[in-house]
Amino acid sequence: MAAKMSKKISAASARSHTRKTKQKTSISLLSGMFGKIVAVFFVGFLAYAYRAIQPPPPKICGTPDGPPVTAPRIKLSDGRYLAYKEHGVSRDEAKHKIVFIHGYDSNRHDAVVATGLSPEVVESLGVYIVSIDRPGYGESDPNPKRTVKSLAFDVQELADQLGLGSKFYVIGFSMGGQAVWTLLKYIPHRLAGAALLAPVTNYWWPNFPANLSKEAFSHQLPQDRWNLRVAHYLPWLTCWWNTQKFFPACSAAAYNPGALSSQDLELMPTYRARTDLYAQVRQQGQHESLHRDLMIGFGTWEFDPMDLENPFPNKEGSVHLWQGDEDKLVPVTLQRYIAQRQPWIQYHEIPGAGHMFPVLDGMADKIVKSLLIGEKNVS
């Protein structure tokens, strides 16, 4: 009886054990499947996210899928082509040779100083200007290996191939003005003089007092602050950030009126009207032009312009910095600080001016004359 009972019990317990095992198995089977589904979704999401943040390849000028080459170009030592445009008197007649470097979202046609210069100044001073397409813009090949430094050597190679001589002048506007700092750093011995027009400041240059750059940064539009933070801290996300539709991206690219001073709003139609050749600006894609600019300009620099030495200790040339005091894109407070730290820079602050002041009537003449012949009575 006892044996029977125990058999029964064991049979029952065995059955219940089996049931439990079945339940457990189906639960673990379910959770196993759920886990797998989650894992598959997660991997899928990662793959999607990875693809989403990959910039599309550029459409390189002169390749079968790319835009045609229409500009004169030089071949650089690493095989890239650099496009340029010549203005003013011919190279042979020139008494003063200037290289012009354009800003963000622009190209060689938009050489604000060259296009605004009066024929009298061009003739009397024998001014020759060559404007370039910075790498990735217009018809210049992209430079995925671009650094803060590389543009200085691109410009030097251009000057040598065009035979501009041992020294030449350089003028840069906005992000092109920022690039002029790199020429002053790496090839100062090749420069006869330099003018920086509303050069873009980098909030992370270490010599800015933290409270000053913080205060200046806080005056930027919220979307610009986020865009610059992404470019500085997460440069690999820059392309996605600037092309996604969830958050507004960079106001300079979107021509957001909120980022323009009242004078800039007035000048904007003039500025845009001159840009019938603008279609070329981004024709090779936005990543190697616009996004690369942000990643370099607001990235971590190899040097700080406030540490530069005076390139002309014997006054054999001059460096000029021009800035509007109502510029909403480049904070005047930071520019003043740079000018104060670097007394060898001739600082011209233009009252009431925004970021676009180089297109004001007569401004190109002032800028060029002060650079070439040191004319006083400017601004």
Q: Can you tell me the distance from the alpha carbon of 130 to that of 157, in angstroms, rounded to the nearest whole number?
A: 13
Rounded least distance, CB 224 to ligand NAG, Å: 19
CB under 6 A: which stretch of 144-152, 211-219, 271-279, 348-356 binds ligand NAG? Answer: 211-219
Sign of CA dihedral 208, 333, 155, 105: positive
| Footprint on residues 190-209 left by ligand NAG (CB under 6 A) | 209
Cβ distance to ligand NAG smaller for residue 209 or 343: 209
**Residue 107, class by beta-carbon neighbours within 10 Å (0-12 exposed, 13-18 middle, 19+ buried)?**
buried
CB hemisphere CA count around 256 (13 angstroms): 16
The site for ligand NAG, by CB under 6 A, has a size of: 4
Residue nearest to ligand NAG (CB): 211
Q: What share of the chain is helix, strand, coil (3-state, %, to 5)?
A: 50, 15, 40
Count other C-beta atoms under 10 Å from residue 46's C-beta: 10
Q: Where do we find the tokens 């040598």? A: 160
212 in contact with ligand NAG (CB under 6 A): yes
215 in contact with ligand NAG (CB under 6 A): yes
Chain centroid to CA 118: 30
Rounded least distance, CB 208 to ligand NAG, Å: 10
Q: Can you tell me the distance from the alpha carbon of 104 to that of 98, in angstroms, rounded to the nearest whole number?
A: 20
Rounded least distance, CB 167 to ligand NAG, Å: 39
253 in contact with ligand NAG (CB under 6 A): no
Q: Can you tell me the distance from the alpha carbon of 136 to that of 81, in angstroms, rounded to the nearest whole number?
A: 10
Q: How far is CA 203 from CA 14, 115, 211, 261, 323, in A?
A: 74, 31, 11, 20, 17
Cβ distance to ligand NAG smaller for residue 119 or 209: 209
Rounded least distance, CB 217 to ligand NAG, Å: 11
Cβ distance to ligand NAG smaller for residue 166 or 211: 211
Task: Judge contact between 303 and 150, C-beta under 8 A.
Answer: no
341 in contact with ligand NAG (CB under 6 A): no
Cβ distance to ligand NAG smaller for residue 212 or 221: 212
Q: State the DSSP H helix or E strand holding residue 172, giving kind and residue range, or none if neither.
A: strand 168-173
Cβ distance to ligand NAG smaller for residue 131 or 335: 335
68 in contact with ligand NAG (CB under 6 A): no
**Per-residue mark of binding to ligand NAG, 151-190 (x: CB under 6 A):** ----------------------------------------
Cβ distance to ligand NAG smaller for residue 214 or 272: 214
Cβ distance to ligand NAG smaller for residue 333 or 346: 333
Q: Are strands 191-197 and 319-324 parallel, antiparallel or unpaired?
A: parallel
Rounded least distance, CB 333 to ligand NAG, Å: 7
Rounded least distance, CB 212 to ligand NAG, Å: 5
Rounded least distance, CB 323 to ligand NAG, Å: 17
Sign of CA dihedral 43, 49, 52, 57: negative
211 in contact with ligand NAG (CB under 6 A): yes
The SS3 call for residue 256 is coil
340 in contact with ligand NAG (CB under 6 A): no
Cβ distance to ligand NAG smaller for residue 91 or 225: 225
Rounded least distance, CB 172 to ligand NAG, Å: 27
Helices (H) and strands (E) in the chain, counts: 13, 8
Cβ distance to ligand NAG smaller for residue 160 or 215: 215
The SS3 call for residue 81 is strand
Q: For binding to ligand NAG (CB under 6 A), which residues are involved?
A: 209, 211-212, 215
